[in-house]
Amino acid sequence: MSQYTVQPILFYFSQLFILCKVLGIYPYNLQVYQNYSELKKSTIGTIGVVLSMIIVIVLYNLLIYSFSDKDNTLKTSQSTLTFVIGIFLTYIGLVMMVTDQLSALRNQNRLGKLYERIRMVDERLLREGCIIDNTPLRKRICVMIVFVFVCELTIMLSTYIVLIDYTKWKSLLWIFSCIPTLFNSLDKIWFAVTLHALQQRFAAINRALNEMVDEHERYKMASRNDKKNFVNNKEKQIKGFLQDVQEENVNLNYLYAELSGASASDLAKFKLGKNRIIPVGTAAATSINNFNQLSTKKKNNQMKIMYESQLNDIVKVEEKLNNFCQLHDEICEIGKLLNELWSYPILVIMAYGFLIFTAQLYFLYCATQDQDIPSLFLSARNAFITGIFLFYTSGKCVYLIYLSWKTSLESKCTGICLHKCGVVVDNNELYEIVNHLSLKLLNHNVDFSACGFFSLNMETLYGISGGITSYLIILIQFNLAAQQAKEAMNSISSTRALDNDSEEQQMNSTSSLTTFITSTITSAMTTEI
């Protein structure tokens, strides 16, 4: 453990950093990162992020303009609700991307300090005997990057091939429809992996406390077993001693028989008196030897077991528990800073996920009713593409909520693990230490939220799921009402058209009849004349 050196956590972000740097998502200095694995502010990087933002905005609006013909027909053919939803949600992805990039520019000086604080926490954990293995973070990042690109390319290419007329040159602009969500996903990988790293450090503290408890449990069990073995060995030694004494008595009886000439029957009746002398070199020597072996061996084992439990040394365990609580407080502060840096992007992505998920299902319903839908939601015309899109969009939001909930839960488990140490020892002095440190842990906990509007936990996830269902039903009801009103208007207009036609026919027939009568009378009068 002394040879182990703490590697900065940013060392394992190399693939993600280079990808974000090339795409213009993050503005940090590439050379400093490659040499020292640190995030330093870069003026050139800032200019690159701004240019990338402007280029994507221009191309995205060009994409919307190229498909504006379909949106114009949508306004005339469908309800105003569908048109307004389409226009609003068309730009929410672009707003999400701009929020991520502006937050990256704002946090240039603070994000590097956050990862430096994580490195210092790792060094302090190492001194306490807790080794954090950051190697799995690289694999996790690679898996998430591959997942993002597979989903983005699948949605974009399948929509382009199946639903878009790719014979026209302007259809190539459809490639830029996935850029905002791609940028957002790469930015959220940074947040998710950093959050997972904090969860690892909370888990390391809890694991160390649980190991101390398990170690003391083994110590207590071994002590009970040693006491039982000690008593059993004592009983065996005493029985052996008595057996040796009995054997020596038999030998002495034989000696007395030889010296006194008494018969065996007389010796059998003969009982040793209180002052009977027993040879010291035989039974007593062996018995004393046995007791000496027993006492020395058991004392050595007992002393050895006494120092196997750290919780028996109150002074050392108090220092260790204090260090763990200080580390816990530092990780909580890092978690609060992480939540503050990504507060606006988290709020926007949660709003995006809620609105897009609801809108995609609503437009899928519209597609099943042969209704026109906005151009950027053409994927709703295919159930398979819609399924992939919903899985990808909801997966990002659910994963972020789940990680935040697990990290917060892991931080609260430290107090439980701390109380286990006091319970297993059952010592008043240790109880006082544990109660004092528990108050500190109670005042330093971490809870992740979206700008304070709602917490990122399972309760929020259940609420969002219920909200999506409720709003989807409301939108479908409005759509049905709009379609029924439209059909009623069409039927009224068609009825009026039929009435107008019948009136015209009646007027034509009346005029023709009048003409016929007039011509008949005129001809009759001319004939009479």
205, two tokens? 């503290």
56, two tokens? 């994507």
410, two tokens? 């892991």
Predicted confidence at residue 201, as pLDDT, reads: 94
pTM: 0.77
Q: Which residue in 171, 157, 167, 155 sits closest to 69, CA to CA?
A: 171
Asked if 420 and 210 touch (Cβ cutoff 8 Å), the reply is: yes
Question: Please, which residues have CB within 8 angstroms of residue 346's CB and are 6 or more apart in sequence?
Answer: 191, 339, 400, 448, 450, 451, 456
State the helix-helix crossing angle for 92-106 and 108-127, rounded to 10 degrees: 70
Query: Hey, how many other C-beta atoms are within 10 angstroms of the C-beta on 339?
Result: 21
Predicted confidence at residue 502, as pLDDT, reads: 60
Asked if 267 and 257 touch (Cβ cutoff 8 Å), the reply is: yes
Query: Hey, how many other C-beta atoms are within 10 angstroms of the C-beta on 104?
Result: 23
57, two tokens? 């905005």
**CA 234/CA 246 separation, integer angstroms:** 18
Residue type, 56: V
Predicted confidence at residue 2, as pLDDT, reads: 47
Cα dihedral value 386, 389, 390, 393, nearest 10: -160
Asked if 378 and 70 touch (Cβ cutoff 8 Å), the reply is: no
Predicted confidence at residue 392, as pLDDT, reads: 94
**CA 79/CA 190 separation, integer angstroms:** 41
Residue type, 108: Q
**CA 413/CA 207 separation, integer angstroms:** 10
Q: Which residue in 57, 44, 337, 352 sits closest to 185, CA to CA?
A: 352
Full pLDDT tens readout for the chain, 529 residues: 445 677 889 999 999 999 999 999 999 999 999 888 889 988 999 999 999 999 999 999 888 888 776 655 555 555 566 666 777 788 888 999 999 999 999 999 899 999 999 999 999 999 988 888 899 999 999 999 999 999 999 999 998 888 787 777 777 888 888 899 999 999 999 999 999 999 999 999 999 998 888 887 777 676 665 555 555 565 566 666 566 656 655 555 555 555 555 555 554 554 444 444 444 444 444 444 444 544 444 444 444 444 456 666 678 888 889 999 999 999 999 999 999 999 999 999 999 999 999 999 998 988 888 887 887 788 888 889 999 999 999 999 999 999 999 999 999 999 888 888 888 777 788 888 888 888 888 777 788 999 989 999 999 999 999 999 999 999 888 888 877 777 777 677 666 656 566 656 666 555 665 665 566 666 655 555 5
Cα dihedral value 493, 495, 498, 500, nearest 10: -70
Which stretches of 426-457 are DSSP H helices? 428-443
82, two tokens? 């569908």
Asked if 482 and 84 touch (Cβ cutoff 8 Å), the reply is: no
Predicted confidence at residue 252, as pLDDT, reads: 54
Ramachandran angles phi, psi of 203, nearest 5°:
-65, -35
Would you give the end-to-end CA distance of the chain in angstroms? 138
Asked if 411 and 334 touch (Cβ cutoff 8 Å), the reply is: no
Q: Is 51 exposed, middle or buried (0-12, 13-18, 19+ CB in 10 A)?
A: exposed
Q: How many residues does the chain have?
A: 529
Question: Please, which residues have CB within 8 angstroms of residue 300's CB and are 6 or more apart in sequence?
Answer: none
The residues with which 455 forms a beta bridge, in sequence order, are: 449
Q: Which residue in 256, 471, 527 sits closest to 357, CA to CA?
A: 471
435, two tokens? 């109660």
Q: Which residue in 357, 358, 351 sits closest to 390, CA to CA?
A: 357
Asked if 193 and 137 touch (Cβ cutoff 8 Å), the reply is: yes
Question: Please, which residues have CB within 8 angstroms of residue 311's CB and are 6 or more apart in sequence?
Answer: 212, 213, 215, 216, 317, 421, 424, 425, 430
Predicted confidence at residue 491, as pLDDT, reads: 72
Predicted confidence at residue 101, as pLDDT, reads: 93
